[in-house]
Amino acid sequence: MDQTGDTAPIIRIQGLHKWFGDFHVLQGIDLDVTKGERIVICGPSGSGKSTLIRCINRLEDHQKGSIVVDGIELTTDIKNIEAVRAEVGMVFQHFNLFPHLTILENLALGPIWVRKTPKKEAEEAAMYFLEKVHIAEQAYKYPGQLSGGQQQRVAIARSLCMKPKVMLFDEPTSALDPEMVKEVLEVMIQLAQEGITMLVVTHEMGFAKSVAHRVLFMDFGQVVEQNTPVDFFDHPRHERTKLFLSQILH
Amino acid sequence: MDAADLKNRFADMKPPRTRVGVLGWIRTNLFGGWLSSILTLLILFVLYKTAVPFLKWALIDGLWTATGAQCKESPGACWSIIVRNIRFIIFGFFPLDQHWRPLAAMLLLFGLLFVSQYRRFWNRRLAWAWGAGLVVMGVLLKGGILGLPAVETEKWSGLPLTLLLSVFGLTAAYPLGVLLALGRQSNMPFIRILSVLYIELIRGVPLISLLFMSSVMFPLFLPEGVVINKILRAQMAIILFTAAYIAEVVRGGLQAMPRGQYEAAEALGLNYYLTMRLVILPQALKIVIPPTVSILISAFKDTSLVVIIALYDVLKTTQARLADPEWMGFSSEAYIFLAVLYFLGCFSMSHFSRRLERDLTHEH
């Protein structure tokens, strides 16, 4: 798959433009993500940060530019879209667990049907990941019986079961009660320590500081500024960034 | 106060008692105030004036085995119109000495339906049992092999015909309706337009006209010598008609599905077919169980419209007895019998759907 060696970016986005009708939501995004890199994307609402990561597994299509994920070009290789999606895990703001399936079935669904893993093996792997997010005892319950924080941890485990090369997080803690944010962030930090490639849209600046290699600040569909967390928080260059940081860091 | 104290502070308190015994219930619910009391008495009076004479007519004075002539002398209900004609009403023109065959077929069908209502039996073996059961039923009705005399489909009538039309009509219409609903939401314009045209055209005409078309117009378009069985044509009309209604109900269910469910399935790499089969349809179809069952119930009753193309379903065989001079004038009894028969069918469906809904509910 990866013919160009380890140094080649696992995701390469070049000159990306996207419109919702007349609204120009992404305006010329360039972004390379190397294997194992952890990127936090922040910015005001409507800045296009969620749209950007949704383009990476083509939940949204784009009109100009190119996105290459693990050697597969999303602009032309639409037939391979399921192959890309299988390699890219996604965690949503509202969990989006399948309410008619048990937790274990939620986790085993992708491996069984997409990866063609035998059921028993898929369920064993599912239990392994459930233990990893500290929720194995809930395996036979249904999503409706779990708290928001537990559901989001299940959602993370569901993505991990596909053994993805990249994990995308779309505001994973913003729909949670304050008491449950911590348990989800702890799981995400644990993942980060294992070296998985992560793109995280979030306003949890503590998380950004402790795990990100790079922080991107977006506004008006553009990447306004990007830097290491230390420089980003301590020495923001752009006026817009300073204003944003002053509003979210009290 | 620590957390445990806080939690157990009111542990001994029970919800307040709202009713005390039967008398208390009657007092609060039937005689709660002067208006309520008057209404209660009024309803009791109306019941006394209607239910009591009816029960007297139907049960106390009712005749169960008398002849038509004896019935005409009596003030009570003449149930013997049903009892004495039961074989014709149930089996119609099926050869008299072969009645055991449709009877066996119906018992087999009821058995399969009964087992199928329990979700724990929904497995491959039940599917095979249905497959084998259908073959056996077909052989029983049609005959011509295994030493069973052949019976022309023109002679299929009565209750077996009603069950044939409704059970196959409904089981074929349901998947067709689901496909149409998916077609209506398709990204492919050709499929979408075809589905919309089908649904709107079929919903735009009464079932009666479809039945007429199937029996009168349709044969005109067939090449000479090709004859499609009349029952099959009526069956097709019922299937096509019911599917259009089911399609619209299912579309409602599909639209009620949150966008996030599609996205989560797609993000896992599931293709369209798997997304629909594993994630969307199981939820969408569950949401629309109540309206779907309404449609199925009304389709079950609508099978009786096949009388207009001269098929003798159980409604028609019963009516046919009313034309017999011996039994003329006992239409109340005949129609009450039919009403009970149809009610049993409809109520079973409704009961099954409630059980299914309960079994499929997982929240809390």
* A133/A154 Cα distance (integer angstroms): 7
B183 and B119, same domain (yes or no): no
Query: Chain A to chain B, count of Cβ pairs less than 8 Å apart?
Result: 71
B216 and B326, same domain (yes or no): yes
A-chain CB neighbours of B362 within 8 Å are 99-100, 142, 144-145
Q: Let me know if residue B42 belongs to a domain.
A: no
Residue A228 touches chain B, beta carbons under 8 Å = no
- Look at residues B206, B134, B139, B144 and name the one whose alpha carbon lies nearest to residue B164: B134
Q: Let me know if residue B27 belongs to a domain.
A: no
Give the pair of three-digit tokens for residue B235. 């069956």
B227 and B114, same domain (yes or no): no
Per-residue model confidence as pLDDT tens digits over B205-234: 998 888 888 888 877 777 777 777 888 888
* A38/A47 Cα distance (integer angstroms): 20
Say what the pLDDT of residue B17 is: 65
**Per the structure, how many domains does chain B have?**
2
Q: Let me know if residue B39 belongs to a domain.
A: no
B224 and B255, same domain (yes or no): yes
Structural domain harbouring B139: 95-150
Residues 6+ apart with CB under 8 A from A143: A95, A97, A98, A99, A101, A103, A106, A151, A154
Query: Of B104, B120, B150, which residue is a domain's last?
Result: B150
Closest CB to B269: pick one of A85, A96, A144: A85
B288 and B155, same domain (yes or no): yes
Q: Band of the pLDDT at A128, cuts 50, 70, 90? A: very high
B257 and B303, same domain (yes or no): yes
A-chain CB neighbours of B270 within 8 Å are 82, 109-110, 113-114
A-chain CB neighbours of B264 within 8 Å are 90, 92, 96-98
Work out the minimum CA distance from A68 to partner chain B, whole angstroms. 17
**B259 to chain A: closest CA residue:** A96
Give the pair of three-digit tokens for residue B206. 């009464």
B100 and B89, same domain (yes or no): no
Say what the pLDDT of residue B308 is: 81
B293 and B310, same domain (yes or no): yes
B136 and B198, same domain (yes or no): no
- Select the residue from A61, A79, A81, A82 to test the B interface by mutation, using most B Cβ atoms within 10 A: A82
Per-residue model confidence as pLDDT tens digits over B86-124: 888 888 888 888 888 888 888 988 898 888 878 788 888
Q: Once rounded to an integer, what is the mean pLDDT over residues A191-215? A: 91
B-chain CB neighbours of A86 within 8 Å are 268-269
Alpha-helical (H) ranges within chain A are 49-56, 81-87, 103-113, 119-132, 148-160, 178-193, 205-211, 229-234, 239-248
* Mean pLDDT value across chain A: 89
Q: What is the CA radius of gyration of chain B?
A: 27
Say what the pLDDT of residue A105 is: 94
Query: DSSP letters along A202-246, please?
Result: ---HHHHHHH-SEEEEEETTEEEEEE-HHHHHHS--SHHHHHHHH
Residue A116 touches chain B, beta carbons under 8 Å = no
Q: Let me know if residue B100 belongs to a domain.
A: yes
Q: What is the DSSP letter of B96?
A: G
Query: Of B150, B165, B190, which residue is a domain's last?
Result: B150
Closest CB to B364: pick one of A100, A109, A144: A144
Give the pair of three-digit tokens for residue B164. 């044939």
* B98/A12 Cα distance (integer angstroms): 77
Q: Let me know if residue B287 belongs to a domain.
A: yes
- ipTM of this predicted complex? 0.91
B177 and B126, same domain (yes or no): no
* B362/A100 CB distance under 8 A: yes
Residue A145 touches chain B, beta carbons under 8 Å = yes
* B270/A158 CB distance under 8 A: no
Query: Of B150, B169, B196, which residue is a domain's last?
Result: B150
| pLDDT of B6 strictly over 90 | no
